[in-house]
Chains A and B, each alone.
Chain A
Amino acid sequence: MKTLDIKGEVCPYTFVKTKLALEHIKGSDTLKVITDHMPAVDNVSRSCSNEGHEIVSSKKINDTDWEIVIRKKLS
Chain B
Amino acid sequence: MFDFTEEEIKRYSRHIILPEIGGTGQSKLKKARVLCVGLGGLGSPVALYLAAAGIGTLGLIDMDKVDISNLQRQVIHSTKDIGRLKVESAKEKIKAINPGVTVNTYTEAISSKNVKEVIAGYDIVIDGCDNFATRYLVNDACFFAGKPNVYGSVFRFEGRASLFCKEGPCYRCMHPHPPPPGEVPSCEEAGVLGVLPGIIGVIQATEAIKHILGIGRSLKGRLLLYDALDMSFREVKIKKDRNCPLCGDNQTVKDLIDYKQFCGLK
Interchain CB contact under 8 A, A13 and B13? yes
Q: Say how far B258's CB is from chain A's closest CB, in angstroms.
A: 47
A75 to chain B, nearest CB (A): 10
Supposing A13-B9, A24-B23 touch, asked if A19 and B1 sit within 8 A by C-beta, the answer is no
B10 in contact with A19 (CB, 8 Å): no
Q: Which residues of chain A (10-58) have a CB below 8 Å from chain B? A: 12-13, 15-17, 19-21, 23-24, 47, 51
Interface assignment of B24: CB less than 8 Å from any CB of chain A? yes
Query: Is the beta-carbon distance between B10 and A20 smaller than 8 angstroms?
Result: no
Q: Which residues from 13 to 53 on chain B have a C-beta closer than 8 Å to any C-beta of chain A?
A: 13, 16-17, 19, 22-24
B: contact size bracket: 10 to 19
Q: Is B4 an interface residue (CB 8 A)?
A: yes
Q: Are A17 and B22 in contact (CB under 8 A)?
A: no
Q: Which residues of B contact A16 (CB under 8 A)?
A: 9-10, 13, 16-17
Find the residue from A15, A16, A21 having the highest chain B CB count within 10 A: A16
Closest residue of chain B to A20, judged by CB?
B23
Count, A-B residue pairs, CB within 8 A: 33
Q: How many residues on A have C-beta within 8 angstroms of the other chain's C-beta atoms?
A: 12
Tell me the complex Cα distance, A12–B18, Å: 12
CA distance A12 to B16 in the complex (A): 11
Contact B16 A19 (CB under 8 A): yes
Chain A residues near B1 (CB-CB < 8 A): 20-21, 24
CB-CB contacts below 8 Å: B72-113 with A: none
Q: Which residues of B contact A17 (CB under 8 A)?
A: 9
The residue of chain A having its C-beta at the shortest distance from the C-beta of B1 within the complex is A24
Residue pair B10, A13 in contact (C-beta under 8 Å):
yes
Residues of B contacting A24 in the complex (Cβ-Cβ under 8 angstroms): 1-2, 23
Docked pose: A19 CA to B4 CA in angstroms = 13
Query: B4 near A20 (CB under 8 angstroms)?
Result: yes
Q: Give 9 closest A-B pairs by Cβ, nearest first.
A: A20-B23, A16-B13, A23-B23, A16-B16, A23-B22, A24-B1, A51-B19, A23-B24, A20-B2
Known pairs A15-B17, A20-B23, A23-B2 / 12 extra A-B pairs, C-beta < 8 Å: A12-B17, A13-B10, A16-B9, A16-B10, A16-B16, A19-B16, A19-B22, A20-B1, A20-B16, A20-B22, A23-B22, A23-B24
